[in-house]
Structure 1
Amino acid sequence: MLNLERLRTLDALARHGSVSGAAEGLHITTSAVSQQMSKLEREVGQRLLAKNGRGVRLTDAGRLLAEHAARILSQVELAHSDLEAQRGQVAGELRVSAFPTAARGLFPAALGELRERHPALRVRSRELEPEQGIRGVVRGDLDLAVLLDWYNKPMPLPDGLVKAALLDDPTDVALPAGHRLAGRDELDLAELSEEEWITWGEGEFCHEWLMFTLRSQGIEPVVGHRAAETHTQLCLVAAGLGVCVAPLLGRDPLPEGVVTVPLRQRVRRHVFVVWRADADRRPSIRAAVQALRAAGERVGASAA
């Protein structure tokens, strides 16, 4: 009989494309991955891996079994969901992630509500950028991930995920208090064409959105500083080192010396949560989505 954990290891190898990637996704050592695969090869009596330079690749038999493994693991997840739904209790463990400002702005209220209402549910949370959160949900390392996209740049999602909106997050521009435009009621992006921008890391979804948005307005942005977290960006603004976009979610309290001004374009980012479709019937998933929506509504009400 095929061992489920060894099939899980093969599935991780197929999805990540390397022993190190599979080990990271499964939170085990590379040695453990190799041992599991050796045992699985003995079980099936065929080679599943072949050397490929310094790495490995799946053989034809390995690819065939990996396709079956993905379907088997999906059925196992469905069985867990059905059993949890049949029991009707919000219990067990739930692994969730959110990008930093959502972890700051939504998780305290939402996870606090879950602990109070469902003491038998143990939630494990972590901060992850949206792309990392998607990967975690797809490969089963996470049950839920809070993500974002922008009004003019959707976040592409793979098949097999369910999505629920949490809030539309209004976004202003943050300026040093002594800036020539700090007293305005609203600003047009074109008025910031000569400014030095403080943004996210190269290649990050929000950085790419900002570059795309500014260039669509005919602005070639000058990037002076990069920081992953909004509050670090705001502290750099307070020091007079540039300007940044400042979504409402998770930004308060503003550092001293920073003012925010709405943009005439009504820039917003969409905050939402995703989970695997084969886990859709789990009461714990539904309870968590409800708590996150309630937290999002409170943020939205404060912005109105």
Structure 2
Amino acid sequence: MLNLERLRTLDALARHGSVSGAADGLHVTTSAVSQQLAKLEREVGQQLVAKNGRGVRLTDAGQLLADHAARILSQVELAQADIEAQRGQVVGEVRLAGFPTAARGLFPEVVTMLRASHPELCVRTSELEPEYGIRQVIRGDMDLAVVLDWNNKRLPVPGGLATAALLDDAADVAMPAGHPLATRAEVGLEDFADEDWVSWPEGEFCYEWLVFTLRSKGVEPRIAHLAGEHHTQLALIAAGLGVCVTPRLGRGPVPDGVALVPVRQPMLRHIYAVWRTDADRRPSIRAAVDALREVGRAVGI
């Protein structure tokens, strides 16, 4: 009979594309992955993995078995969800991912709430950008991810995922305190057509949103500085090096020398949770979603 843990290792290799990636996803060493794959090859009597340059690739037999492994593991997860649902107890482990300001603005209170309400539940969290969080949920490396899209640009969510709205987060324009528009009651992004912009790194969803939004207003953005952390962005603004859009969730203290002005037509980040539909009945998932909703309602901006 095929060993489930070895099938899980093969599935991780197929999903991550490398032995090191599979090891990271499974939280084991690369040698442990290699040993499990070697045992699985002996078990089935066929070569499943072949060298490919400095890495490895699945053979035809390996890909065939990996496809079966993905379906088997999905069925195992469904069985686990059904058993947990029948038992009705929130136990075991739940792994949460969230983009940085959600991790900072939601997770501390969510984890504290879950620990108090469900002491037998182990909660683990990771900080991941939305697209990576979704990918990790699909792979099975995370149970739930907190992600976002904007009111004028949606984040693609693949099939097979369930979603729950948590809160809408407004954003302001941050500018040096001495900026001519710093005392305005509200501003439009087009008011900063000739300014240097501080943005999230290229390739991230929020960077693409900023460029898309500015161009939709007839502004070709002059992005001078890239920073993933909002605190770094605001430090650059305080130094007089540009302007930026700064959401309110998880923003924390604003440094001296920075003025925040609301946008004339409010820009909202829609923040929501995603998880695999085959895990939907797991009490641990439901408890995590409920805690996220409660904290989201409390901090909704």
TM-score range, shorter chain: over 0.9
Report the residue type matching 1:157 in the other structure.
Answer: V
Is 1:255 aligned to 2:255, yes or no? yes
Aligned to 1:19: 19
Aligned to 1:40: 40
Q: Which moved more, 1:21-30 or 1:162-171?
A: 21-30
CA distance in 2, matches of 1:12, 1:288: 25
TM-score for the superposition, normalised by structure 2: 0.96
- Percent identity between matched residues is 70
Aligned to 1:205: 205
> 1:158: how far off?
2.2
Uncovered stretches (5+) of structure 2, i.e. residues with no partner:
none
CA distance in 2, matches of 1:80, 1:273: 21
Aligned to 2:78: 78
CA distance in 1, matches of 2:110, 2:257: 31
Is 1:276 aligned to 2:276, yes or no? yes
CA distance in 1, matches of 2:174, 2:267: 13
> 1:19: how far off?
2.1
> 1:20: how far off?
2.5
CA distance in 1, matches of 2:49, 2:104: 43
Secondary structure of the residue aligned to 1:178 is coil
1:57-84 alpha-carbon deviations (Å, 9 max, x no partner)? 2222111111110011011111111111
Alignment of 1:64-213 (within 5 A): 64-213=64-213
Aligned to 1:214: 214
Secondary structure of the residue aligned to 2:47 is coil
Is 1:60 aligned to 2:60, yes or no? yes
TM-align CA RMSD: 1.4
CA distance in 1, matches of 2:119, 2:58: 44
Uncovered stretches (5+) of structure 1, i.e. residues with no partner:
none
> 1:130: how far off?
1.3
1:224-259 alpha-carbon deviations (Å, 9 max, x no partner)? 222111122112211211111011111132222212
Report the residue type matching 1:112 in the other structure.
Answer: T
1:112-158 alpha-carbon deviations (Å, 9 max, x no partner)? 21112112212111211112211221111211111111112211122
Secondary structure of the residue aligned to 1:50 is strand
Secondary structure of the residue aligned to 1:126 is strand
> 1:101: how far off?
0.5
Aligned to 2:5: 5
CA distance in 1, matches of 2:292, 2:70: 30
Aligned to 2:266: 266
Report the residue type matching 2:282 in the other structure.
Answer: R
CA distance in 1, matches of 2:43, 2:9: 14
CA distance in 1, matches of 2:9, 2:115: 32
Secondary structure of the residue aligned to 1:225 is strand
CA distance in 2, matches of 1:12, 1:151: 35
1:100-119 alpha-carbon deviations (Å, 9 max, x no partner)? 11111111222221112112
Alignment of 1:203-242 (within 5 A): 203-242=203-242
Secondary structure of the residue aligned to 1:220 is coil
Aligned residues: 301
1:243-295 alpha-carbon deviations (Å, 9 max, x no partner)? 11011111132222212111123211111111111110011111111111111
> 1:51: how far off?
2.7
Aligned to 1:246: 246
Report the residue type matching 2:3 in the other structure.
Answer: N
CA distance in 2, matches of 1:95, 1:209: 28
Secondary structure of the residue aligned to 2:201 is coil
Report the residue type matching 1:276 in the other structure.
Answer: R
Q: Which moved more, 1:20-29 or 1:221-230?
A: 20-29
Secondary structure of the residue aligned to 1:185 is coil
Q: Which moved more, 1:1-10 or 1:23-32?
A: 23-32
Secondary structure of the residue aligned to 1:265 is coil
> 1:185: how far off?
1.1
Secondary structure of the residue aligned to 2:274 is strand
CA distance in 2, matches of 1:264, 1:174: 14
CA distance in 2, matches of 1:61, 1:182: 64
CA distance in 2, matches of 1:213, 1:95: 33
